[in-house]
């Protein structure tokens, strides 16, 4: 979605629209194990207005992201709900090379006649993602020795619901057993 700067008025306007996620999927695609997959579009609702040359955007995003659990590697659905507030200031240097610039203070500048919201929305989506995707806080993941999915129940090689500290103790006890050979 692009909004022309001269159509942003002091009285707030609202817009609901869908923003594509091709770029996000490209970032998380490729050959490495992907952590997230994005729906073709995220839904955005935006309120925007200006005060002088400063442009204000208040938005909310929603959609369903597919996450790949970092423990059991299964995909799961992750609701996207993100609210944001942004202020864009006119670029004091008048740089035309980039559409948006950001300084050390986190202030964003615009230097074009038209604001492209796609990069702003993509950034907000990335901010909403968990650092480590988990299908469930209680996910037991995969057995490190046999690869069995422990959410389905214990596998043969570890004590059930094993505390890793107890597992080390268990091995120790086995080693101390008198030889049964």
Footprint (CB under 5 A) of Zn ion, residues 42-71: 69, 71
Residue closer to Zn ion (CB basis): 43 or 75: 75
* Distance in angstroms (rounded) separating the CA atoms of residues 129 and 159: 34
Is 50 within 8 Å of 21 (Cβ atoms)?
Answer: no
Q: Cβ 76 to Zn ion, closest distance in Å?
A: 7
| Coil, helix or strand at residue 156 | coil
Buried b (16+ CB within 10 A) or exposed e, 115-149: bebeebbbebbeebbeeebbbeeebbebbeeeebb
Does 167 bind Zn ion (CB under 5 A)? Our answer is no
Does 142 bind Zn ion (CB under 5 A)? Our answer is no
Residue closer to Zn ion (CB basis): 94 or 153: 153
Total residues interacting with Zn ion, rule: CB under 5 A: 11
Residues that bind Zn ion (CB under 5 A): 69, 71-72, 135, 139, 143, 145-146, 148, 155, 157
């Amino acid at each position: 979605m692009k909004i022309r700067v001269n159509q942003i008025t002091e009285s707030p306007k609202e817009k609901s629209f869908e923003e594509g996620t091709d770029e996000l999927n490209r970032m998380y695609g490729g050959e490495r194990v992907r952590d997230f997959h994005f729906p073709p579009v995220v839904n955005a609702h935006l309120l925007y207005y200006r005060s002088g040359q400063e442009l204000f955007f208040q938005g909310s995003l929603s959609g369903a992201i597919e996450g790949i659990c970092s423990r059991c590697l299964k995909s799961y659905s992750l609701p996207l709900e993100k609210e944001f507030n942004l202020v864009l200031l006119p670029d004091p240097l008048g740089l035309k090379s980039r559409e948006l610039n950001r300084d050390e203070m986190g202030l964003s500048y615009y230097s074009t006649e038209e604001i492209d919201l796609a990069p702003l929305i993509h950034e907000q989506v990335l901010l909403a993602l968990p650092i480590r995707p988990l299908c469930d806080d209680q996910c037991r993941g995969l057995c490190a020795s046999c690869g069995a999915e422990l959410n389905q129940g214990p596998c043969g090689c570890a004590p059930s619901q094993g505390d890793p500290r107890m597992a080390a103790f268990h091995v120790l006890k086995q080693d101390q057993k008198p030889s049964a050979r």
